[in-house]
């Protein structure tokens, strides 16, 4: 599109640029539309929703639906809002992210700097674990959690998310440490530094970017998980996504679209916030998840 | 990426073992493996062991709870004689083909537009990508409302004066699966765009310049030179999307709940309902095994080639 071709006149080139900008703007509006509708619907009253237009701005914006979604909306039989489920998700995400990231860092370190015969097979098996459909482990896991007395508990969900996140965290750190010069490790070894000392003093201080990528990736995945949440928890122990689905799909009483949308925004806020603050790292994590390390 | 193998004398297995190998030495040498072992053991048990457990369950007579009485291929016979399973497979085919095809086409199209030295790229990129940060449940909830036949898009079009406009796909059994495609494309196409954009930025500008000097039109340059160079990205995008399509569960549950009727049943929703709601755990396990086989057929050759390539 750059160097002005002799066959393309300046006028044609300008028309082409107008077309490009117009197409991009229209597309951007389409991508933004659902978010806009969610937001405006959550600020409207039910009467205005029923009588008015979905795309119209709220005439009299009110956060009543937000307050109700947070503290009063009925999920199942209990009408205490989504706040408890929101905290369930936080209590599940924080330990699961920390543990799986730490283990992934150590695994990546061993798999690149302390190689042993068969390290490739070990890594390959951990990598494949990232991609299995979780349906293939759902029944045994439900059974095991039941036997351990961890059904319907946040501890059980933390355990599940750590286990099935290990493949990804190991992949991230392995690909990152692979590029770290072995000479530095060797020099440290000659100076008498041991396994953990090298990790703490040499590798970890340079791991900032990959730690951010891993934390964001794990945070987004675990916060957004639905399948494990719906399978291994119930009632008051459910994470946010499960509660949102229960709220929206319940068919009793008047359908309060504004409350549904406010609850959906609460469920979306943490990951959206992370995305806005650290979008660059978020995209890098997604790309690394596509194996291209 | 080439890795320099550590100097033999410093690797655990190469350490001199003759002179008085003490317990402490042994421990030090085994330390890396001891650190890795718990993670690997966990993966072995909870991934591979559990897969075998599920496979075994699919050959039993399990109903509400797992029982270990051998039932042969009975569950597979029952699975493949369920009209519901055929609906699920057919829906997966429709959803998978459209979802992958549209995401790749749209992602490539937006990426090419974005690659024309656009001024507001920093503003536009996040707009196309933010849906990927959302949970499928949120996406499903939003689109369920947006496409609501009574109050959503249809109503808006009527207000705009287009009174004959009809959009009831969400409640129309013949069309409901396409709403899943729409919501899925909205969520993932921005990510595909980012992959293609990264690929476009990695293309050697000299090749393009040479073609321009030869008088090739822009369309020809894209068709003949740039798009063929993006082949690896097409493959990655296909793998990621195919794998997401087979695993899709939350989106359908939140958007249509698998309905109306069983109109948007997918293998993932089939597995869940037969296992946990319909008390046919062996059939549910058999369907999970089919899903695993589908994903394995896509992922294993890909991972194998990826890991080999990296060696060179």
- Residue B134 to residue A268, Cβ atoms within 8 A: yes
- Report the C-alpha gap between A160 and A71 in whole angstroms: 29
Candidates 3.40.50.620, 1.10.533.10, 3.40.50.261, 1.10.3720.10; CATH matching A83-289 = 1.10.3720.10
pLDDT score at B311: 53
Interface probe, candidates B138, B153, B257, B297, chain A, greatest A C-beta count within 10 A: B138
Q: How far is CA B258 from CA A238, B85, B171, B180, B207, in A?
A: 21, 13, 11, 10, 49
Tell whether B217 and B264 lie within a shared domain: yes
> What is the residue extent of each domain of chain A?
10-62, 83-289
How do residues B58-115 score in pLDDT, each as one tens digit?
998 888 888 888 888 888 998 899 899 999 999 999 999 999 999 999 999 999 999 8
Q: How far is CA A190 from CA A114, A198, B3, B9, B10, in A?
A: 15, 11, 20, 11, 9
Question: Which of A127-131, B216-220, B249-253 has the least mean pLDDT?
Answer: B216-220
Share of chain A above pLDDT 90, in %: 42
pLDDT score at B2: 39
Within a domain: B138:
yes
Asked if the model's pLDDT at residue B18 lies above 60, the reply is no
Closest chain B C-alpha to A284 CA, distance in angstroms: 10
Per-residue pLDDT band for B30 (boundaries 50, 70, 90) equals: confident
- Residue A290 to residue B153, Cβ atoms within 8 A: no
Tell whether B166 and B275 lie within a shared domain: yes
- Residue A245 to residue B198, Cβ atoms within 8 A: no
Question: Which of A17-31, A279-293, B172-186, B222-236 has the least mean pLDDT?
Answer: A279-293
Residue B149 is part of a domain; what is its CATH number? 1.10.3720.10
Per-residue pLDDT band for B56 (boundaries 50, 70, 90) equals: very high
pLDDT score at B9: 41
pLDDT score at A251: 67
Tell whether B28 and B127 lie within a shared domain: no
Asked if the model's pLDDT at residue B280 lies above 70, the reply is yes
List chain B residues with CB under 8 Å of A138: 54, 271-272, 275, 288
Asked if the model's pLDDT at residue A96 lies above 90, the reply is yes
Asked if the model's pLDDT at residue A218 lies above 50, the reply is yes
Closest chain A C-alpha to B11 CA, distance in angstroms: 7
> A102 touching B, CB under 8 A?
no
Closest chain B C-alpha to A133 CA, distance in angstroms: 6
Computed over every residue of chain B, the mean pLDDT equals: 85
- Residue A260 to residue B145, Cβ atoms within 8 A: yes
Cα B199-B201-B204 angle, rounded to 5 deg: 95
Which of A113, A227, A275 has its CB closest to that of B130?
Answer: A275
- How many contacts (CB atoms, under 8 Å) link A and B? 293
Name residues 233-262 of chain A within 8 A of B (Cβ). Answer: 241, 244-245, 248-249, 257, 260-261
Name residues 27-86 of chain A within 8 A of B (Cβ). Answer: 27-28, 31-35, 37-38, 41, 49-50, 53-55
List chain A residues with CB under 8 Å of B140: 245
Tell whether B283 and B246 lie within a shared domain: yes
- The sign of the CA dihedral A284, A289, A291, B2 is positive
Q: How many domains does chain B have?
A: 2
pLDDT score at B16: 46
pLDDT score at B80: 93
Which of A103, A139, A268 has its CB closest to that of B275?
Answer: A139
Tell whether B52 and B187 lie within a shared domain: no
**ipTM at complex level:** 0.88
List chain B residues with CB under 8 Å of A3: 209, 212
Computed over every residue of chain A, the mean pLDDT equals: 87
pLDDT score at B309: 64
Interface probe, candidates A115, A133, A238, chain B, greatest B C-beta count within 10 A: A133
Share of chain B above pLDDT 70, in %: 92
Tell whether B35 and B86 lie within a shared domain: no
How do residues B217-240 score in pLDDT, each as one tens digit?
888 888 888 899 898 889 888 988
List chain B residues with CB under 8 Å of A167: 43
Which of A106, A123, A257 has its CB closest to that of B35?
Answer: A106
Closest chain B C-alpha to A63 CA, distance in angstroms: 18
Within a domain: B84:
yes
Per-residue pLDDT band for A5 (boundaries 50, 70, 90) equals: very low
Tell whether B135 and B178 lie within a shared domain: yes
pLDDT score at B42: 94
Asked if the model's pLDDT at residue A293 lies above 80, the reply is no
List chain A residues with CB under 8 Å of B128: 27-28, 31
- Residue B155 to residue A38, Cβ atoms within 8 A: no
Residue whose C-alpha is closest to residue A130's, from A75, A170, A190: A170
Closest chain B C-alpha to A97 CA, distance in angstroms: 15
pLDDT score at B103: 96
Asked if the model's pLDDT at residue B285 lies above 90, the reply is yes
> A269 touching B, CB under 8 A?
no
pLDDT score at B11: 43
Containing domain of residue B28, as a range? 14-58
Pair of tokens at residue B81: 């004689």
Per-residue pLDDT band for A4 (boundaries 50, 70, 90) equals: very low
Q: B233-237 long-range CB contacts below 8 Å, 24 or more apart?
A: B233/B195, B233/B196, B233/B198, B233/B199, B234/B104, B235/B302, B236/A290, B236/A291, B236/A292, B236/B195, B237/A290, B237/B103, B237/B104, B237/B107, B237/B192, B237/B195, B237/B196
pTM of the model: 0.87
Per-residue pLDDT band for A26 (boundaries 50, 70, 90) equals: very high
How do residues B139-151 score in pLDDT, each as one tens digit?
999 999 888 887 8
Within a domain: B280:
yes
Q: Which residue of B has its CA nearest to A280?
A: B126
pLDDT score at B39: 93
- Residue A31 to residue B190, Cβ atoms within 8 A: yes
Tell whether B46 and B110 lie within a shared domain: no
Share of chain A above pLDDT 70, in %: 94
Per-residue pLDDT band for B310 (boundaries 50, 70, 90) equals: low
Per-residue pLDDT band for B251 (boundaries 50, 70, 90) equals: very high
Closest chain A C-alpha to B307 CA, distance in angstroms: 8
Question: Which of A148-157, A173-182, B24-33 has the least mean pLDDT?
Answer: B24-33
> A112 touching B, CB under 8 A?
yes
Tell whether B47 and B113 lie within a shared domain: no
pLDDT score at B72: 83
- Give the pLDDT mean for A189-203: 88
Tell whether B302 and B264 lie within a shared domain: yes
Tell whether B143 and B286 lie within a shared domain: yes
How do residues B31-54 score in pLDDT, each as one tens digit?
888 899 999 999 999 999 999 999
Tell whether B271 and B131 lie within a shared domain: yes
- Residue A226 to residue B186, Cβ atoms within 8 A: no
Pair of tokens at residue B257: 């709940």
């Amino acid at each position: 599109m750059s160097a002005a071709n002799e066959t393309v006149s300046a006028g044609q080139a300008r028309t082409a640029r107008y077309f490009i900008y117009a197409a991009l703007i229209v597309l951007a509006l389409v991508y933004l539309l659902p978010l806009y509708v969610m937001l405006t619907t959550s600020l409207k009253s039910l009467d205005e929703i029923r009588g008015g237009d979905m795309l119209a701005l709220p005439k009299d914006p009110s956060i009543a639906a937000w307050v109700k979604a947070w503290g009063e909306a009925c999920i199942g039989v209990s009408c205490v809002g989504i706040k408890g489920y929101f905290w369930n998700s936080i209590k599940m995400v924080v330990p699961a992210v920390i543990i799986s990231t730490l283990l992934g860092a150590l695994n990546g370190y061993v798999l690149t700097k302390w190689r042993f015969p068969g390290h490739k097979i070990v890594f390959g098996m951990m990598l494949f674990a990232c991609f299995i459909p979780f349906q293939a482990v759902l029944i045994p896991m439900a059974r095991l959690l039941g036997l351990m007395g961890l059904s319907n508990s946040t501890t059980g969900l933390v355990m599940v998310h750590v286990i099935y996140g290990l493949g990804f965290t190991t992949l991230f750190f392995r690909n990152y440490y692979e590029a770290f010069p072995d000479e530095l490790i060797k020099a440290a070894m000659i100076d008498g530094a041991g396994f953990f000392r090298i990790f703490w003093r040499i590798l970890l201080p340079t791991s900032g970017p990959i730690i951010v990528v891993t934390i964001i990736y794990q945070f987004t995945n675990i916060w957004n998980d639905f399948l494990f949440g719906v399978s291994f928890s119930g009632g008051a122990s459910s994470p946010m996504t499960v509660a949102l689905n229960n709220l929206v799909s319940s068919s009793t009483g008047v359908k309060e679209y504004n409350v549904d949308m406010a609850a959906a925004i609460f469920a979306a806020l943490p990951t959206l916030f992370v995305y806005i603050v650290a979008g660059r790292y978020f995209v890098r994590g997604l790309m690394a998840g596509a194996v291209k390390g | 990426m080439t890795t320099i193998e550590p100097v033999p004398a410093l690797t655990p297995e190469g350490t001199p073992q003759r002179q008085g190998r003490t317990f402490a030495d042994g421990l030090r040498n085994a330390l890396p493996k001891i650190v890795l072992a718990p993670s690997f053991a966990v993966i072995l048990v909870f991934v591979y062991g559990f897969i075998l457990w599920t496979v075994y369950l699919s050959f039993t007579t399990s109903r509400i709870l797992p029982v270990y009485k051998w039932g042969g291929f009975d569950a597979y016979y029952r699975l493949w004689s369920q009209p519901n399973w055929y609906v699920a497979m057919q829906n997966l085919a429709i959803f998978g083909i459209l979802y992958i095809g549209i995401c790749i086409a749209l992602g490539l199209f937006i990426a090419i537009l974005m690659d024309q030295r656009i001024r507001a790229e920093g503003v536009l990129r996040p707009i196309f990508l933010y849906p990927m940060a959302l949970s499928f449940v949120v996406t499903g909830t939003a689109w369920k409302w947006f496409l609501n036949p009574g109050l959503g898009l249809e109503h808006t079009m009527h207000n705009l004066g287009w009174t004959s406009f009809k959009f009831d796909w969400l409640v129309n059994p013949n069309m409901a699966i396409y709403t899943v495609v729409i919501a899925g494309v909205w969520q993932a196409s921005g990510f595909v765009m980012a992959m293609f954009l990264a690929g476009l930025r990695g293309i050697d500008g000299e090749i393009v310049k040479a073609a321009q000097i030869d008088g090739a039109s822009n369309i020809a340059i894209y068709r003949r030179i740039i798009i063929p160079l993006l082949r690896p990205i097409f493959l990655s995008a296909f793998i990621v999307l195919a794998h997401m399509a087979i695993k899709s569960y939350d989106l359908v549950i939140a958007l249509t709940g698998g309905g109306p009727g069983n109109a948007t049943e997918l293998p993932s929703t089939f597995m869940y309902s037969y296992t946990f709601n319909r008390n046919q755990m062996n059939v549910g396990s058999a369907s999970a095994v089919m899903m695993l086989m589908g994903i394995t057929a896509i992922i294993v050759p890909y991972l194998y080639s990826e890991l080999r390539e990296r060696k060179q």
